[in-house]
Structure 1
């Protein structure tokens, strides 16, 4: 199966340097060996067709408009042994707790600024800091981060590091469930051989987390009504919105389906208006309410912020979360953990250079061909330079942009991102992978076992984002002992 597979200088999730599978991959490897090439090809094609049939798509935007694509799927799973996963889980709970305390603090007492841990101007000049709109507002459970998507990578030693925090509208959770569904359909044999943590009750955990954010002035003794607010069918993550709303059994609405009367939010229904208590929104802050943010927004609901400030409706994730997942603030998350929790970070950051520091700036400009440069406000792999894979012309272009606005960029060493085998076009080859872990918080914090493993299917590429040609893999947490249930 992997006769010509080369692990190279990278940590490989599945294979040892000597060409043998790692202990937790042995059963999977042996099963793969029993398939013929024809069977592997057929199964691969069946898996892709499954995604197509179910309409599991996302939209890639470019200068010519939007193109709808199915998420490329690779059947070689990422398998994580339970003890390793337990450390990840603890690290994620710790990180989200600190980030939530940070958000509560900077919109209220600002103790971390007073203590000199984070520069005041870094927060106050942040375009996602909405102190004017929501400073001093108390949110249910004091919880700003109902759902986080934290991107992890493994370095050359096989140790996890946090690459990025997504605290606004993290997408991709639907793919976690669909990857598992397709794996069970196409490769049922794998599930008889392995004892895998189930995803069965994860949507009800998400629903519980949503419903726990009842606003202070909700009608007493009644079950709160929650909705999922989408920008509509042209949004790149629309499939995600539809899937989650259906699975949780809540209404999927657009801005035009809601109205604010006397600072209370209502949903228009065929039976008249129905009060809405909780909005799980998948619309960016700027477009939520034309009264409070962008007056040209046709996606939001006029008066929504007034209802929010009066305690008549909850908005998840919280408004103004973007200040905490900015790539410049990311550098300070380990300091937040120490400041708010008096603990050392369980999962460390990737080393990061601030370009507003003249010494670091000089170093980065001289070594740009060896570093990764990122725009602090961009996501999805856009406005990013991967030094070792770039042309001189691109490097010069980024030098110019950095000199023009050094505060807008950060630099990181090119990490030897871990790799795993991918099966595409009839052969196995190594591809770089990362893992988006989903953390949900309501009355308690819960981490979905596994998460979304993303894979850079283009050979040699370091970019795993689906918008840049990446795909997905199922992620298995291998429980020690017990029966298989997935």
Structure 2
């Protein structure tokens, strides 16, 4: 226990097996958190319950929700938010930011290469069959030059702090990475509930994300366009991230549209308005590749715009992120990130990769099948925490089932050691107290034409169930406000 004299921390058990971001090995508060700890300990349990309920009401009233997809039904839930923020020092953040930017730049160069000259494949640094067998490699993108030469305008890098105190990248997300709206909403909710705590720390703002995103989108406008018209395209209100789509459109001051609101004529894209057609130049898309154009991809898609890809191919509209980016956040490609960074940037990786076994390699497949109980098994093309199997949580029967799944489709799975994610004090309703919970961090990097931006903060996701390592909201996780300090300690 930390101390029984502070009621809201009376249930906090300091487990030295995990890296605690707030308390040192002796159970003493770290200097960076001393003031924050004192401020929170000044509240009674009754006070904190009221503040916590106030934050929940704020999220409910703003409609800050997400969809959870189950086998039998889909549920809409309020995004769980913890009022005790995570603090990252200036020097530590500098390391994270440089590492996230390095990966985003390398992935952009990789995407250009595999859709054009394929040098990295011809030289055998990345296997040809690894790319050719990826479900997210789009043949239609071969030879297409995206405006500004940018594929991954928005990248989400999932990072953990391990028990050794080092940062590791779990995965790269460059299809349609979500969660940034919750970063901004977390900050707003915390300020409303506990405004006074901000007077004691100098933290970078996170509310400038939308204006930077708009600048990035405008920078990749098609040739010959002076003032581009940008829109956000959404699959609709039943999508799990619809709140984010609507939030970003409103924050940027652009239209939120669905496929039915747009049409293509003479290879240009137009938006239907009450004042007649309006040409659209840049589309921030939150619709998956195969659904964006029924004439090019899935003919049964009602979410896309017929002829959109033809307009894109001819350079008359920019799609952000570019179609086909998903091949680079394939978890099998992740295993080659150190080589990709070295090849394109001639640099060593700033952030570590987690050692990863790819089941398409016979010797690694053999190891995985024999050690499932010690590994985390992940499908290469899923997101949101779906399909993950954590070996030490599985029964013998479940291990046997996972083994058979891998044998059927080895290319579809990778495996990693069970990493000990760092822990952070998190308020738990059931105990009405703070308890240790595992956290990770999703950073957001923007790339444009000669422009770049990394949000100084990010989405700290929390596994709310005790001992759980899966932090995704779709798997019952929550989040914290993340403070990046301006001053070096």
Q: Normalised by the size of structure 2, how large is the TM-score? A: 0.96
Residue by residue, what CA displacement relative to the aligned partner does 1:198-252 show, whole Å, maximum 9, x if unpaired?
A: 1242221111011111112x44xx4110110000011010000000000000000
Contact 2:11 2:433 in 1 (8 A): no
Q: Distance in 2 between matches of 1:73 and 1:3?
A: 21
Q: Distance in 1 between matches of 2:207 and 2:407?
A: 51
Q: Distance in 2 between matches of 1:106 and 1:455?
A: 36
Deviation for aligned residue 1:125: 1.4
Q: Distance in 2 between matches of 1:201 and 1:399?
A: 46
Q: Distance in 2 between matches of 1:364 and 1:207?
A: 44
2:349 aligns with 345
| Aligned equivalent of 1:468, options 446, 463, 475 | 475
| Aligned equivalent of 1:431, options 432, 437, 452 | 437
| Aligned equivalent of 1:83, options 88, 91, 96 | 91
Gaps of 5+ in 2: 1-5
Q: Residue 460 of structure 2 aligns to a residue in which SS?
A: strand
Deviation for aligned residue 1:50: 0.9
Deviation for aligned residue 1:80: 0.3
Q: Distance in 2 between matches of 1:311 and 1:471?
A: 40
2:393 aligns with 389
Contact 1:195 1:481 in 2 (8 A): no
Residue by residue, what CA displacement relative to the aligned partner does 1:356-397 show, whole Å, maximum 9, x if unpaired?
A: 222222221121111100111111111111011111111110
Residue by residue, what CA displacement relative to the aligned partner does 1:326-346 show, whole Å, maximum 9, x if unpaired?
A: 000010111110000110000
Deviation for aligned residue 1:94: 0.8
Deviation for aligned residue 1:3: 4.1
Q: Distance in 2 between matches of 1:462 and 1:239?
A: 26
Q: Residue 183 of structure 2 aligns to a residue in which SS?
A: helix
1:98 aligns with 106
Name whichever of 352-361 and 269-278 sits farther off: 352-361
Q: Normalised by the size of structure 1, how large is the TM-score? A: 0.97
Gaps of 5+ in 1: none
| Aligned equivalent of 1:65, options 60, 73, 81 | 73
| Aligned equivalent of 2:211, options 204, 213, 236 | 204
Residue by residue, what CA displacement relative to the aligned partner does 1:42-89 show, whole Å, maximum 9, x if unpaired?
A: 111111111011110011111233211000110111100000000111
Give the RMSD, CA atoms, in angstroms.
1.2
Q: Residue 269 of structure 1 aligns to a residue in which SS?
A: coil
Name whichever of 133-142 and 195-204 sits farther off: 195-204
Q: Residue 272 of structure 1 aligns to a residue in which SS?
A: coil
Q: Residue 109 of structure 1 aligns to a residue in which SS?
A: coil
Deviation for aligned residue 1:301: 0.4
Q: Residue 353 of structure 2 aligns to a residue in which SS?
A: coil
Contact 1:215 1:277 in 2 (8 A): yes
2:117 aligns with 109
Q: Distance in 2 between matches of 1:73 and 1:4?
A: 19
Count how many residue pairs are aligned between Structure 1 and Structure 2: 478
Deviation for aligned residue 1:479: 1.7
1:30 aligns with 38
- 1:393-408 to structure 2, matched below 5 A, reads 393-408=397-412
Residue by residue, what CA displacement relative to the aligned partner does 1:396-438 show, whole Å, maximum 9, x if unpaired?
A: 1001111112111111000011110101221111011000000
1:226 aligns with 230
Contact 1:308 1:315 in 2 (8 A): yes
